[in-house]
Amino acid sequence: MKRSFRSDLKWSDVTPQSVYLDRRSLMSAAGGALVAALIGGRPAAAKIAAKPSALSTSEPPTKFEDITTYNNFYEFGTGKSDPSQYAGNLTIDPWSVQIDGLVDRPGSYGLGDILAKVTLEERIYRLRCVEAWSMVIPWIGFPLADLLTRAGVQPGAKYVAFQTLLRPEEMPGQQMALLDWPYVEGLRIDEAMHPLTILATGLYGDVLPRQNGAPIRLVVPWKYGFKSIKSIVKISLTDGEPPTTWKQMQSNEYGFYANVNPNVDHPRWSQASERVVGAGLFAGRKPTLMFNGYGEQVASLYAGQDLAKDY
């Protein structure tokens, strides 16, 4: 099954959020609207003007309610509805991301400054995201490569490590020994610099909801969802493979790569099919695609690797 991509998506191609919420009207805004919303001044209801990415899928997006109420974000609990129930008290202003390691310009990068100086305009990335279930999410974001280039990637950098916020007083899941907090993840440098690897700061034309990883999160659509770390506060470039939370917790089940691979079963379940969130109880499951359907874009990154071994 070949996944279709196109570069001529219009705002009308993305299902309007108002169809589901019916309480907000679309407002025209410059690319700086998101900056204003996040660093103070513009209310969250202000919409973000962004252009479609040529990397977007033509598949229809998942409903806003499903995207924002069915989540894995263990910092707020293990239930799918826990993030939407408990994330409202998370403080996301001010926010900064520490960038260090093998970079020319290490330091604390304020979110407003990051968004004001990204190389490319923010764009709509309508991307498939998959666990044992899948969604199509119209993210607003920009390539991670833009930020790493700004920090100055040194020649010896081979990996990129990420860290989530640690704030148990606002993230009740961190008050329990569910995982070894803070949550950490990592990518190989070529994966991190790929144009499909984005930092998302919004969805459905609005600022990113807290339960979806506000104010800034990673999205790596050809990998299982746990690789797309949320509420990022630190990015480190290293010359060795960084630790990742689920590999440390259960290395026999979760590896460093976590590429979507229907041919390799999880030890406790098959990964050959996925349930489409919002499709209804009787819609059944659909076959999982290699690299989540993005093989044409990313398969070359793994030429010569045994993807059953490097899971």
Per-residue pLDDT at 10 exceeds 50: no
Residue 284 is predicted with a pLDDT of 76
SS3 state at 292: helix
For residue 21, is pLDDT > 90? no
Using one digit for the tens of pLDDT, what is the confidence trace for 261-295? 999 999 999 999 999 999 887 777 899 999 999 99
Q: What pTM does this model have? A: 0.86
State yes or no: pLDDT of 42 exceeds 60: no
pLDDT at res. 200:
96
62 burial via Cβ count (<10 Å: 0-12, 13-18, 19+): buried
Distance CA 9, CA 136 (A): 15
Q: What is the pLDDT of residue 147?
A: 97
pLDDT reported for residue 120? 57
Check if the beta carbon of residue 166 is closer than 8 Å to that of residue 156.
no
| Per-residue pLDDT reduced to its tens digit, 127-157 | 889 887 999 999 999 999 999 999 999 999 9
How much is the average pLDDT of 293-302? 97
pLDDT at 43 over 70: no
What confidence tier does 119 reach under pLDDT thresholds 50, 70, 90?
low
Domains of the chain: 11-299 (3.90.420.10)
For 160, other C-beta atoms within 10 Å of its C-beta total: 26
